[in-house]
Amino acid sequence: MKRSARALWVIANGKCDLRPISLPDRGPGEVLVRTLYSGVSRGTETLVLRGGVPPNQHAVMRAPFQEGEFPWPVKYGYLNVGVVEAGAPELLGRTVFCLYPHQTHYVVPATAVTPVPESVPAARAVLAGTVETAVNALWDAPPLLGDRIAVVGGGMIGCSVAALLARFPGVRVELVDTDPGRAALAAALGVGFASPESALRDCDRVFHASASEAGLALALDLLAPEGEVIELSWYGDRRISLALGENFHSRRLRIRASQVGTVARPDRSYAQRLALSLDLLADPVFDALITGESPFDQLPEVLAGLADGSLPALCHRIAYHAAD
Contact between residue 94 and residue 112 where contact means Cβ atoms under 8 Å apart? no
| ∠ Cα 107 113 116 (to 5°) | 130
Neighbouring-strand partners of residue 20: 6
Distance CA 33, CA 109 (A): 10
Query: pLDDT > 90: what percent of the chain?
Result: 92
Domains within the chain, CATH numbers bracketed: 4-127+281-319 (3.90.180.10), 131-257 (3.40.50.720)
For position 1, what pLDDT does the model report?
Answer: 67
Indicate the average pLDDT of the chain.
Answer: 96
Report the amino acid identity of residue 150. Answer: A
Distance CA 313, CA 130 (A): 14
Give which of 71, 73, 58 is closest to 11, Cα–Cα.
Answer: 73
CA 120 centroid distance within chain: 18
pLDDT tens sequence across 292-304: 999 999 999 999 9
Neighbouring-strand partners of residue 96: 82, 115
pLDDT tens sequence across 123-172: 999 999 999 999 999 999 999 999 999 999 999 999 999 999 999 999 99
Contact between residue 281 and residue 131 where contact means Cβ atoms under 8 Å apart? yes
Choose between 192 and 3: higher pLDDT: 192
Q: How does residue 323 score in pLDDT terms, banded at 50, 70 and 90?
A: confident
- Mean pLDDT, to the nearest integer, of 229-234? 96
Distance CA 105, CA 84 (A): 10
The residue count for the chain: 324
Report the amino acid identity of residue 61. Answer: M
